[in-house]
Amino acid sequence: MPKIPAALGYGLCDWLGGLLYQLYKPGRANIQANLRRVLGGQASQAEIDRRTRATFKYILYNYFDLFRLPALDPSAVAQLVSVIGWEHVEAALAQERGLVMVSAHLGNIEVVLYAILLRGLAITIPVERLEPPELFDYICRLRMSHGLKLIPIDGSLLDLVRTLKKGGVAGLAGDRDITRTGQKVNFFGQPAHLPDGHVRLALKTGAPLVVGFGRRNPDHTYQAYFLPAFYPPPRASEAERIAAGMRFIVAEMEKAIAQNPEQWTVTVPIWADTPDEPHAS
Residue 21 has pLDDT above 70, yes or no: yes
Residue 281 has pLDDT above 70, yes or no: no
The reply to whether 14 falls in a domain is yes
Between CA 206 and CA 229, with CA 226 as vertex, the angle to 5 degrees is 25
Same domain, 94 and 216: yes
Give the mean pLDDT of 36-53. Answer: 95
Q: Are residues 63 and 77 in the same domain?
A: no
Confidence check: pLDDT of 196 > 50? yes
Average pLDDT over residues 89-117: 92
pLDDT at 274: 52
50 and 99 co-located in one domain: no
Q: How crowded is residue 263: how many other Cβ atoms within 10 Å of its Cβ?
A: 25
In this structure, the answer to whether residues 49 and 115 fall within a common structural domain is: no
In 49-203, DSSP assigns E strands to 81-84, 99-103, 123-127, 149-152, 169-173, 183-187, 190-194
Find the domain containing 35 and state its range.
1-67
Q: 79 and 63 in one domain?
A: no
Phi-psi region of 102 (alpha: psi -120 to 50; beta: other; left: phi over 0): beta
Alpha-carbon distance of 182 to 162, in angstroms, equals 22
- How many domains are contained in the chain? 2
Q: Are residues 88 and 31 in the same domain?
A: no
Higher pLDDT residue, 139 or 206?
206
pLDDT score, position 195: 95
Q: Residue 273 has what pLDDT? A: 60
Q: Which of 39, 67, 95 is the last residue of a domain?
A: 67
Cβ contact 85:225 at 8 Å:
yes
As a residue count, the chain comes to 281
Alpha carbon distance 264, 53 (integer Å) = 12
Q: Report pLDDT for 70.
A: 81
- pLDDT band of residue 213 (cuts 50, 70, 90) is very high
pLDDT band at 87 (very low <50, low <70, confident <90, very high): very high
Q: Supply the pLDDT for residue 142.
A: 83
* Residue 32 shares a structural domain with residue 97: no
DSSP label of 70: G
Find out whether the peptide bond into 132 is cis, omega within 30 degrees of 0.
yes
Mean pLDDT of 112-136: 86
Which positions ≥6 away from 94 have C-beta within 8 Å?
none
Is 60 exceeded by the pLDDT of residue 278?
Answer: no
Residue 138 has pLDDT above 90, yes or no: no
What is the spatial distance between Cα 23 and Cα 31, in angstroms, rounded to a whole number?
Answer: 14
For residues 110 and 220, the answer to whether their CB atoms sit within 8 Å is no
In a domain, 273, yes or no: no
Full-model pTM: 0.91
pLDDT in tens, 261-272: 999 999 999 997
Query: What's the pLDDT at 74?
Result: 86
Percent of the chain with pLDDT over 90: 68
116, 153: one domain: yes
Structure confidence by residue, pLDDT tens digits, 150-187: 888 877 788 899 999 999 999 999 999 988 889 999 99
